[in-house]
Structure 1
Amino acid sequence: MTALKAHEVARFVTRPDIADGIFLAYGPDAGLVRETAQRLIRKLSGDDPDAASIVTLDGATVDADPSILAVEAKTISLFGGKRIVRVRGAGKSLVMTLTELRDNLQGAAIVLEAGNLPPRDALRALVEAARNGRALPCYPDSDEALQTLIRETFNQQGIRVDADVVALLREILGNDREITRRELEKLSLYAATSKQLTHEDVLLLCADNGMMVIDAIIDAAAGGHAEKLELALNRALSSGVDPQRLLAMSTIHFANLRRWRTEVDAGKTPRAVLDGQRPKPHFSRAGALEQQLRLWSDNALATASARILQTTGDTRRRPALADAGLRRALLAICMMAAAH
């Protein structure tokens, strides 16, 4: 019986202990399941992958005609290369056919991809019990594994990253390996010439993170960081972020600061005020928000809020001036913060 642990799968794929057999990659991380199957197939293909005979079947096709799997597995390669049959979306309908094949594979390898299978699942149980079967569990990356993947990806490309890029990507990326790979490939391509990747690059390029871009702009303005504000605004506006959205989010932010400032004036520390919020502000912004609560008085926050509301009204009446109006308003607020 061979049932690998999740942490053993990566090592197994680089050095499988059998070349012929039934391999089952399964788990809730569909991206990692696909990647594991692909890496295993490359390894099983041997020194001459072009000579390998690789057939890919869809689970639904095999469900409709289970015998097709046996036919493909037993077909001799015309060029003498390794015979590999890959089945995507494998299910329990394959159990009978695999039971007949497992002891008579004639040099072929069958690589199955499946979802999250419980221990008593018939397909998983068959593969784990087979002498020439290997079950490869694919579970979402741990924080440590994801950070290692990020570092290794950039190191292999010779790309230098800002100190906080790895932690930032860990917060941005989910636990689907396919999505993670796609985002890392995009960032690597972007930095292929400069060999440098900054915090701002990540915020700009990771598509689903518009709020993080907006937070960076607002925190630069409210914190009095003019250079960061200019850089963040240039990148956001050039990539199509709506100025009205930025103004609306700025309005909300300064309204929150006024509400929190009231608690600070009543005797609470900025950290205690932020810790008491529900939902609690993201930990990556805690330092910036504390600084802002120390910088701004209620009167100053009221002035900043009024400036944003005035700009919002003006730019709605004259949309062509939205970019310029937004820049002037946030720069003015930034100068107020810097003067404190």
Structure 2
Amino acid sequence: MKANRGQIERALDAPTPDIRLFLLHGPDESGSRALAERLARAMGADAERIDLDGSAVARDPALLADEAASMSLFGGPRHIRLKISGDEALDAIEALLEAEQAGNPVVAVAGALKGTSKLLKRALAAANVMAFASYVPEGADADRMAMALARDSGLRMTADVARRVVDATGGDRALLTREIEKLALYVDAAPERPGEIGHDALDAVGVDSGDGDLSRLVDGVMSGQPDAAVRELERLAVEGIEGMPLIRAVLRRIFTLMPLRSEIDGGASVDDVMASSGKALFWKEKLVISRQVRRWDSPRLAIAQSRLLEAERQLKSAGTAGPILVAAELVAISRVAARLR
């Protein structure tokens, strides 16, 4: 059955025997993994976790049901984490759902499953399955996610600080979590020992300039610096940061520029528009954004947005070049920007 966020979180936090499988799918795999960790915490630090992948259960469809019914070697709680990419685990999951008993909960973490997926259809139709799709949060939703992650680490941050962290990480949950952990260490904060962070802490930790930062890539793309964009793409690829986070980071900048450019098209000056933006823009970014809003007109921003959304769609589709396609599209947009004046 299909679950909403509140339902899936409550079920993972307190698993019951009537739900044998949690299917976590969708384009935001970081979000799916974060949900899977809720079950791990609910089972306890001493619980035994069994990791399986799609290829293993495809070769032996009975393996998943056997593991779900097995006792822990140490007599304590036990749970199974299954990593899949499509329908390769359908027979194994069918066996799990139809087994006489399955005392250990199973979490299957999948990517973006197509609507035609037999596995997804089976999960949505089953009463003993909860299925939830995670999508990369955008705009205010991304800011709220950053503030919620900060609260979990004992940090208090204002909306403009949250937006700056989101912009630097492209809204990717894994990168956000890493940056927030660094900030919590810097101010010695913890859930039982809350602390507050501002822009000075972000400057000190280097949220906008350290490893994994996406702002330099965004500026290289939108400021028409293809060589800089290529260097950043290569650096980020070495760190394992490719694909969706890069698209989201550049899209966020486009979404920032669009309303500003619309005001200019309506007759306002660039200086007036930037002055009226107030705290909606981080002060260190105002100069580069003012240059970009001069460079890009509304029709070209709309085209760039459309091209990135199409790249996102193709990235989610099986059999595409994935990160290579995304990198090529970002460089192409940067070259277009270089020709704009």
TM-score normalized by the length of structure 2? 0.55
Question: Does structure 2 retain, via aligned residues, the 8 Å contact 1:27–1:138?
Answer: yes
User: 1:33 Cα deviation (Å)?
Assistant: 1.2
Partner of 1:74: 69
User: 1:150 Cα deviation (Å)?
Assistant: 2.6
2: CA distance, partners of 1:270 / 1:143: 23
User: 1:76 Cα deviation (Å)?
Assistant: 2.5
Q: What SS does structure 1 have at the residue aligned with 2:115?
A: coil
User: 1:115 Cα deviation (Å)?
Assistant: 0.4
**C-alpha offsets along residues 86-119 of structure 1, whole Å, 9 cap, x if unaligned?**
1113531211122122032332222111000122
User: 1:129 Cα deviation (Å)?
Assistant: 1.4
2: CA distance, partners of 1:156 / 1:22: 26
Q: What SS does structure 2 have at the residue aligned with 1:152?
A: helix
Alignment of 1:48-67 (within 5 A): 49-50=45-46, 52-67=47-62
2: CA distance, partners of 1:160 / 1:283: 19
Alignment of 1:1-340 (within 5 A): 2-6=1-5, 8-16=7-15, 20-43=19-42, 45=43, 49-50=45-46, 52-104=47-99, 105-161=101-157, 164-192=160-188, 195-203=195-203, 204-206=205-207, 207=210, 208=213, 211=216, 269-271=269-271, 284=282, 289=287
Question: Does structure 2 retain, via aligned residues, the 8 Å contact 1:31–1:179?
Answer: no
2: CA distance, partners of 1:170 / 1:58: 31
Q: 1:109 to 1:201 in 2, by over 3 A?
A: same
Moved more, 112-121 or 60-69: 60-69
Question: Does structure 1 retain, via aligned residues, the 8 Å contact 2:84–2:109?
Answer: yes
User: 1:188 Cα deviation (Å)?
Assistant: 1.2
Aligned partner of 1:113: which letter?
V
| Greater radius of gyration (CA) | 1
Question: Does structure 2 retain, via aligned residues, the 8 Å contact 1:24–1:111?
Answer: yes
**C-alpha offsets along residues 113-163 of structure 1, whole Å, 9 cap, x if unaligned?**
100012221111111211211112111124333323332344455545467
Aligned partner of 2:89: which letter?
L
Q: What SS does structure 1 have at the residue aligned with 2:177?
A: helix
Q: 1:274 to 1:187 in 2, by over 3 A?
A: closer
Aligned partner of 1:115: which letter?
G
User: 1:40 Cα deviation (Å)?
Assistant: 2.1
% identical aligned pairs: 28
2: CA distance, partners of 1:120 / 1:8: 24
Aligned partner of 1:100: which letter?
A
Q: 1:142 to 1:40 in 2, by over 3 A?
A: farther
Aligned partner of 2:9: which letter?
A
Partner of 1:306: none
Q: What SS does structure 2 have at the residue aligned with 1:73?
A: helix
Q: CA RMSD in A?
A: 3.8
Partner of 1:299: none
Q: What SS does structure 2 have at the residue aligned with 1:71?
A: helix
Question: Does structure 2 retain, via aligned residues, the 8 Å contact 1:24–1:112?
Answer: yes
Structure 1 alignment gaps of length 5 or more = 215-267, 276-281, 294-340
Aligned partner of 1:199: which letter?
H
Q: What SS does structure 2 have at the residue aligned with 1:102?
A: helix
Q: What SS does structure 1 have at the residue aligned with 2:171?
A: coil
Q: 1:122 to 1:65 in 2, by over 3 A?
A: same
Aligned partner of 2:103: which letter?
G
Q: 1:174 to 1:271 in 2, by over 3 A?
A: same
Q: 1:107 to 1:160 in 2, by over 3 A?
A: closer
Q: 1:77 to 1:7 in 2, by over 3 A?
A: closer
2: CA distance, partners of 1:5 / 1:139: 12
Q: What SS does structure 1 have at the residue aligned with 2:142?
A: helix
Question: Does structure 2 retain, via aligned residues, the 8 Å contact 1:20–1:108?
Answer: no
2: CA distance, partners of 1:115 / 1:153: 22
2: CA distance, partners of 1:14 / 1:210: 35
TM-score normalized by the length of structure 1? 0.56
**C-alpha offsets along residues 288-336 of structure 1, whole Å, 9 cap, x if unaligned?**
659x99xxxxxxxxxxxxxxxxxxxxxxxxxxxxxxxxxxxxxxxxxxx
2: CA distance, partners of 1:156 / 1:130: 33
Question: Does structure 2 retain, via aligned residues, the 8 Å contact 1:159–1:192?
Answer: no
Aligned partner of 1:55: which letter?
I
Q: What SS does structure 2 have at the residue aligned with 1:128?
A: helix
Question: Does structure 1 retain, via aligned residues, the 8 Å contact 2:169–2:214?
Answer: no
2: CA distance, partners of 1:287 / 1:114: 36
User: 1:36 Cα deviation (Å)?
Assistant: 0.9
2: CA distance, partners of 1:131 / 1:163: 40
2: CA distance, partners of 1:152 / 1:90: 29
